Amino acid sequence: MDLLPEPPARHGRAAATRQRILDAALAEFAANGLSGARVDEIAARSGANKRMLYAYFGSKEELWMVVLERAYAAKRAEERALAVNNLPPVEAMTALVRFNLRYVARHPEFVALLNAENLHRAAYLARSESVRALYSPLLEVLRDVLRRGVEAGQFRADADPVQCYLTIVSLGHFYVANMHTLSTIFGVDLGSEAALAAREQHCVQVVLGYLRPA
């Protein structure tokens, strides 16, 4: 976390600089979007020379893409680590819903990044092979959980995995994205643990309530 850890062995130095730039870029892009972000600021925050940023990433836009892909990959990595396949259907679904809310609450920059990207009609993400590749395994997991729940008589049979996926993600994403607006309007701090816990419980009830067989 130090800006300059003890002089790293000749070779890891470039990688370290690259990483510091990526960290700084993530923060700056999440805070200001693509057009609002300042290359100078990213360089300053990262403790690197601006020239290095261009040497490693080519341009502001290419840096944006790399940051975006890494943010996606990071979320998917944690998601995978949940290993919900090993859980019974209801617990698995609960875990997924909770994870999604908690993850974005812990990483509001992920939400900010995605929303900023949506402004450009997904110009970058849509082009990214690696991001597309991250979706399919996730959907497979969900499909499996739903199937097992139906077989166990715990879930309704007509639930579509894609719709479920969208719903689970929506519930957390919107909450985090609009946290500031909503906190002001409702006069409560939606970022507090109490508020998060309440939202978490609600989200789980919504998803399980929907899946509950008639």
Partner DNA sequence: CATGAATGAGTTTTCATTCAT
Partner DNA sequence: GATGAATGAAAACTCATTCAT
Using CB under 8 A as the binding rule, whether residue 19 contacts a copy of itself is answered as no
If the CB atoms of residues 131 and 141 are measured against a copy of itself, the closer one turns out to be 131
Question: Is 123 one of the binding residues for DNA (CB under 7 A)?
Answer: no
* CB nearer DNA, residue 21 or residue 96: 21
Q: Which residues between 37 and 66 bind DNA (CB under 7 A)?
A: 37-40, 48-52, 54-55, 59-61
174-193 binders of DNA (CB under 7 A): none
Cβ at position 73, least distance to DNA in Å: 23
Query: What single string gives the DSSP state of each residue in 145-169?
Result: HHHHHHHTT-S-TT--HHHHHHHHH
Options 5, 7, 153, 209; binder of a copy of itself; rule CB under 8 A: 209
Instruction: Choose the contact partner of 72 out of a copy of itself, DNA, none; CB within 5 to 8 A by kind.
Output: none
What residue 167 binds from DNA, a copy of itself, none (CB within 5 to 8 A, per partner kind)?
A: a copy of itself
Kindly state the greatest CA–CA separation across the chain.
Answer: 65
76 neighbors 103 (Cβ within 8 angstroms): no
Q: Which of 94, 85, 71 lies closest to 137, judged by CA?
A: 85
Q: Interface mask (CB under 8 A) for a copy of itself, residues 144-173, using x and -? A: ----------------x-xx--xx-xxx-x
- According to the binding rule CB under 7 A, does residue 121 interact with DNA? no
CB of 177 to a copy of itself, least distance (A): 5
The residues, ordered by sequence, that sit 6+ positions from 207 with a Cβ below 8 Å of its Cβ are: 93, 97, 164, 167, 168, 171
What does the block give as tokens for 62? Answer: 């290419």
Tokens, residue 32? 């200001």
Coil, helix or strand at residue 178: coil
Q: Which spans of this chain sit near DNA (rule: CB under 7 A)?
A: 7, 10-11, 13-14, 16-17, 37-40, 48-52, 54-55, 59-61
